[in-house]
Amino acid sequence: MSDATPIAPTGRTIVLGVTGSIAAYKSAEIASQLRKLGHEVFVVMTRRATEFITPLTLGTLSRNPVLCDLSEESQGAWKPGHIELADRADLLLIAPASANTIARLACGLADDALGAVALATRATLLIAPAMNGKMWEHSATRENAERLRARGAAFVGPAEGMLACGYEGTGRLAEVDEIIARAQQLLAAR
């Protein structure tokens, strides 16, 4: 008999959005840490995110099905899965958030699962950017981030340091502990 018992969620419901960034591998640790804190975690991945980490990994760590495509939603359900997730969420945490995703969120695009959840939810939105420093500093990205902040989105990071592209600068995903702490802070304020 094993001493390990499954952790039953006692916290809040967090939708973890994962986008196409080399930092996507860190979403596994984020999902795991949130579960250990007692939160129920549902992962929504962009198509590009699946090129960096598998839905199987994130489904195993979150202990919930992973939504990657709107066409994957259960057939015949009276309420689409992305709307159910949007309604259940206490926090929508997008980590990592690519420049492309930040632009799509700022424009209100909802032609993929993550965009649809983001547009439909009334949950707190926490964005953890991860990209090349030049992309983060570009005026279009800065304007998109400011537009999202003006709508109430919170940001954590990006951090400064060596980037995956070989440049040094601001664009790294914030440390997992910092992301978790900010998520907990926002949930406590809700």
Low-confidence ranges of the chain (pLDDT < 70): 1-10, 72-80, 162-163, 165-167, 169
What's 96's DSSP letter? E
Among this protein's residues, is 68 annotated catalytic? no
Number of helical H runs and strand E runs in the chain: 8, 7
**pLDDT at residue number 140:** 97
Of 165, 168, 181, 190, catalytic: 165
Bridge partner residues of 16 (DSSP):
43, 93
**pLDDT at residue number 161:** 75
What's 67's DSSP letter? B
pTM, two decimals, is 0.90
Domain segments of the chain: what residues?
13-189
**pLDDT at residue number 80:** 54
**pLDDT at residue number 169:** 66
Homologous superfamily of the 13-189 domain (CATH): Flavin prenyltransferase-like (3.40.50.1950)
Among left, alpha and beta (phi > 0; psi -120 to 50; other), residue 180 is alpha
